Each structure stands twice: as structure tokens, then as C-alpha cells.
A = this chain, B = another copy of it.
């Protein structure tokens, strides 16, 4: 009764695998999927991806990143803030400079997953 059905060319209803009601109940609440999308969104910018890539090769301070990417220091700092908030990077003050590093190996894994898909 709650099956998702559609009129087909011959007028016969085609039942789908799942009950619409059950499927609807099984959807994670909007909030948790929002969190997930926000997480992926962080990877959805070239500058942040480039920063993450650099940090996957070596811990670096803001100045290093700025000069390696040949970008405005302010732009880098703004992006680092977003990466910090997403807990993708950590930082440690070292004299005047602040050294950034990847927060965990998880980031590399997600990177690789992405690369794999791209290169298919």
C-alpha cells in the first residue's frame, strides 16, 4: 500500500525495492547530513586542497604555504581558519611563526579516495 509505484507504459504498477514510508524513516535527520555536507565542503576548494596536499608532505608555517602557493598571506590564513574549524589541521606556535600539520591520517585517506575516483 505504501510501495512506491508508478504507472508504466502498459499501465502496470512497478513495485520498488523499498517501502516509501520505511525509506523516509530511514533517512538520517537533515542535521547530520548537513554536518556531512559541511565536512565535504571543506575539501571543495582548490586553495584548501592545495594546502592540505602540502601539509600531507610536510609540516609548514603560514609563510611557507603562502610562498609555495604564491598567494596572499591573508587568503591563506582565512583558509587555515576553516581547516582548523573542520579539525583537519592542527597548529603549534614556534617563536613568531605558527606551524601547521594535518590533524590525522584520515585526511590522507579521504584524499586518496577522491583521487581514485577521479582517475577511474
Residue of B whose beta carbon sits closest to that of A14: B94
Would you list which residues of chain A between 72 and 101 have a CB under 8 Å from chain B?
94-97
* A20 in contact with B68 (CB, 8 Å): yes
* A109 in contact with B118 (CB, 8 Å): no
Question: A85 vs B81: C-alpha distance in the bound complex, in angstroms?
Answer: 31
- Across the interface, which residues of B come within 8 angstroms of A2, CB to CB? none
Residue of B whose beta carbon sits closest to that of A28: B53
* A44 in contact with B44 (CB, 8 Å): yes
Residue of A9, A42, A95, A97 with highest tally of chain B CB at under 10 A: A95
- Count of this chain's copies in the oligomeric assembly: 2
Question: A83 vs B32: C-alpha distance in the bound complex, in angstroms?
Answer: 20
* A95 in contact with B6 (CB, 8 Å): yes
Query: Which residue from B16, B34, B97, B116 sits with its C-beta under 8 Å from A60?
Result: B16
Q: List 30 A-B contacts (CB under 8 A).
A: A6-B63, A6-B94, A6-B95, A8-B94, A14-B94, A16-B59, A17-B58, A17-B59, A23-B58, A23-B68, A26-B57, A27-B50, A27-B53, A27-B54, A28-B53, A30-B50, A33-B49, A35-B118, A36-B43, A36-B49, A37-B43, A37-B45, A37-B49, A40-B41, A41-B41, A41-B43, A41-B45, A43-B44, A44-B44, A106-B120
